[in-house]
């Protein structure tokens, strides 16, 4: 989003004009911003046999998946439904990595039948896989390295009490199952969680993974997950991926030499690729003065963007309708019958009824975590691609809320 001649734009298109055409609330994504992020990763890890697998849970719209596919980026999925969306978007089964958590073995079998790569994150599942598929298929393993990466506690997923992955302290049990069934392990996977800031923490994780990898003879790849931190406000510390790339390159090549063959290096970025590309555009319903604050009440809320309430996440907020207005302090809240503060005590250009408010960094875990709470409808989604704003999801209607409801006939 750029301010040009007193108007906020994406790729030369006026955001208020886009709202006029498609209505509010509205999710809008800048395809150019996504493509720039993909290229930045390829530059940072140049010289390595790199494969990118977009973490589809961040934003599963099929048009976004097709954009990833056009850039030779595969996908990482965590449900069979995401896997099927990937196939609908044109991905070949071998381009999809299925790394679920806590699913039934039946769901895992469904993915196997589709020909999708399988990642296993618990010992009982590994045992089931060995009993049925060891002589036919390989799989990968997600390990928990017991590393605290930083960020909100709810997005740290590699500490000792995390439900994700098989504990590195259970390596001997893993090897017992693998050797008992002669399972071919194609890759090792680790993901420490979002908001990874420090390259050295990443290298600590890599060292643990490299040591474990020496126990497996048939590896094709090492998967380092994602979690690169993006900026949510001015001055935010972010992951220096170029520094990380330089340090990890030396460590990875040294490991490959020790291992005895060259492996691929995989990453599964989600938020990094789409967060900054997305905006949630909302309209001001009411400017409400209270004794201690002035509320900007908008036509959206935690039903469309839950991150501020779930993770205490900070999203920068801009009044795009009045870029030259005097600055005042406001608290931006939604229209949900809960406390759904989107941003407290924010300095915004004077807000008037009807003004369009842009909530930034809404591309990741925005629409994908949205709900119909209060029987509210989900927004439309638009992608700006090659200078054109294209609708990629229609706004919900009342019929969408009730189409699966069955009215019981109590008199029968």
What pLDDT sits at residue 239?
84
Long-range contacts of residues 344-351, Cβ cutoff 8 Å, at least 24 apart: 345/293, 346/317, 348/296, 348/317, 348/318, 348/319, 349/318, 349/319, 349/322, 349/323, 349/324, 349/325, 350/319, 350/322, 350/325, 350/326, 351/284, 351/287, 351/296, 351/319, 351/322
What pLDDT sits at residue 344?
96
Lowest pLDDT segment from 32-41, 244-253, 293-302: 244-253
What is the edge-to-edge ordering of all strands in the sheet holding 7-10? 2-4, 7-10, 13-14
Residue 239 and residue 308 in one domain = no
Percentage above 90 pLDDT, the chain: 79
353 is in an annotated binding site: no
Pairing of strands 264-267, 50-55: parallel
What's the rounded mean pLDDT across residues 178-183?
A: 95
Indicate the residue among 273, 307, 326 that finishes a domain. Answer: 273
Residue 252 and residue 303 in one domain = no
Residue 238 and residue 138 in one domain = yes
Domain span holding position 221: 31-273
Say yes or no to pLDDT of 410 above 70.
yes
Residue 121 and residue 243 in one domain = yes
For residue 359, list its beta bridge partners: 280, 317
What pLDDT sits at residue 202?
81
Overall domain count for the chain: 2
Each residue's pLDDT tens digit, 380-394? 999 999 999 999 999
Say yes or no to pLDDT of 156 above 50.
no
Question: Does 301 reside within a domain?
Answer: yes
- What's the CA gap between 55 and 114, in Å, rounded? 19
What pLDDT sits at residue 159?
54
Residue 150 and residue 198 in one domain = yes
**Other C-beta atoms lying within 10 Å of the C-beta of residue 256:** 19
Residue 239 and residue 280 in one domain = no
Lowest pLDDT segment from 132-141, 240-249, 393-402: 240-249
Token pair, residue 156, equals 């740290």
Residue 375 and residue 351 in one domain = yes
Residue 157 and residue 251 in one domain = yes
- What's the CA gap between 41 and 38, in Å, rounded? 5
Global pTM reads 0.92
Say yes or no to pLDDT of 409 above 60.
yes
What pLDDT sits at residue 31?
98
Question: Does 83 reside within a domain?
Answer: yes
Say yes or no to pLDDT of 292 above 50.
yes
Question: Does 412 reside within a domain?
Answer: no
Phi and psi angles of residue 195, each rounded to the nearest 5 degrees, phi first: 70, 35
Query: Domain holding 345: CATH number?
Result: 2.40.37.10
Say yes or no to pLDDT of 186 above 80.
yes
Token pair, residue 77, equals 């999925």
Residue 203 and residue 262 in one domain = yes
What pLDDT sits at residue 74?
97
What pLDDT sits at residue 381?
98
What pLDDT sits at residue 240?
87
Say yes or no to pLDDT of 64 above 80.
yes
Each residue's pLDDT tens digit, 318-353? 999 999 999 999 999 999 999 999 999 999 999 999
Query: Domain holding 64: CATH number?
Result: 3.20.20.10
Of 408 and 63, the one with more pLDDT: 63
Residue 150 — very low, low, confident or very high, per pLDDT cuts 50/70/90?
low
Question: Does 411 reside within a domain?
Answer: no
CB-facing half-sphere around the CA of 119: CA atoms within 13 A? 31
What's the rounded mean pLDDT across residues 166-173?
A: 90
The catalytic site residues sit at 337
Indicate the residue among 216, 247, 273 that finishes a domain. Answer: 273
Question: Does 408 reside within a domain?
Answer: no
What's the rounded mean pLDDT across residues 164-184?
A: 92
311 is in an annotated binding site: yes
Residue 80 and residue 35 in one domain = yes
Residue 166 and residue 313 in one domain = no
330 is in an annotated binding site: no
Each residue's pLDDT tens digit, 189-237? 987 765 666 677 788 888 889 999 999 999 999 999 888 888 888 878 7
Of 20 and 408, the one with more pLDDT: 20
Indicate the residue among 232, 251, 273 that finishes a domain. Answer: 273
Question: Does 35 reside within a domain?
Answer: yes
Question: Does 409 reside within a domain?
Answer: no
Residue 96 and residue 234 in one domain = yes
Question: Does 43 reside within a domain?
Answer: yes
């Amino acid at each position: 989003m750029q301010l040009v001649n007193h108007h906020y734009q994406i790729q030369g298109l006026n955001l208020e004009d886009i709202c006029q055409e498609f209505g509010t609330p509205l999710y809008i994504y800048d395809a150019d911003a996504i493509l720039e992020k993909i290229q930045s990763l390829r530059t940072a890890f140049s010289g390595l046999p790199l494969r990118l697998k977009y973490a589809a849970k961040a934003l599963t719209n099929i048009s976004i998946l097709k954009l990833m596919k056009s850039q030779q980026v595969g996908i990482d999925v965590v449900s069979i439904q995401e896997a099927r969306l990937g196939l609908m978007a044109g991905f070949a089964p071998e381009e999809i990595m299925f790394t679920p958590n806590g699913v039934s073995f039946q769901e895992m079998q469904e993915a196997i039948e589709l020909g999708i790569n399988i990642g296993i994150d618990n010992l009982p599942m590994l045992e089931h896989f060995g009993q049925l598929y060891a002589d036919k298929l390989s799989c990968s393993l997600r390990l928990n390295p017991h590393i605290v990466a930083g960020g909100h506690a709810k997005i740290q997923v590699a500490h000792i009490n995390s439900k994700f992955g098989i504990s590195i302290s259970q390596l001997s049990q893993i090897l017992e199952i693998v050797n008992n069934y002669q399972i071919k392990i194609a890759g090792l996977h680790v993901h420490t969680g979002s908001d990874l800031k420090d390259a050295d923490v990443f290298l600590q994780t890599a060292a643990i993974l490299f040591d474990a990898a020496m126990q497996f003879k048939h590896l094709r790849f090492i998967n380092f997950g994602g979690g690169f931190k993006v900026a949510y406000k001015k001055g935010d510390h972010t992951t220096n991926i170029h520094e990380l790339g330089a340090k990890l390159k030396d460590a990875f090549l040294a490991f490959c030499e020790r291992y005895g063959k060259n492996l691929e290096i995989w990453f599964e970025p989600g938020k990094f690729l789409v967060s900054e590309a997305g905006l949630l555009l909302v309209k001001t319903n009411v400017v409400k003065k209270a004794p201690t604050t002035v509320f900007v009440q908008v036509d959206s809320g935690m039903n469309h963007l839950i991150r501020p309430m779930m993770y205490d996440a900070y999203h920068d907020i801009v009044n795009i309708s009045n870029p030259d207005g005097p600055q005042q302090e406001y608290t931006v809240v939604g229209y949900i019958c809960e406390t759904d503060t989107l941003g407290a005590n924010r300095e915004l250009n004077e807000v008037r009824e009807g003004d369009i408010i842009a909530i930034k960094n809404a591309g990741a875990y925005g629409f994908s975590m949205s709900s119909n709470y209060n029987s509210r409808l989900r927004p439309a989604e638009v992608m700006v691609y090659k200078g054109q704003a294209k609708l990629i999801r229609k706004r919900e209607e009342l019929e969408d809320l009730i189409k699966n409801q069955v009215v019981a006939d109590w008199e029968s």
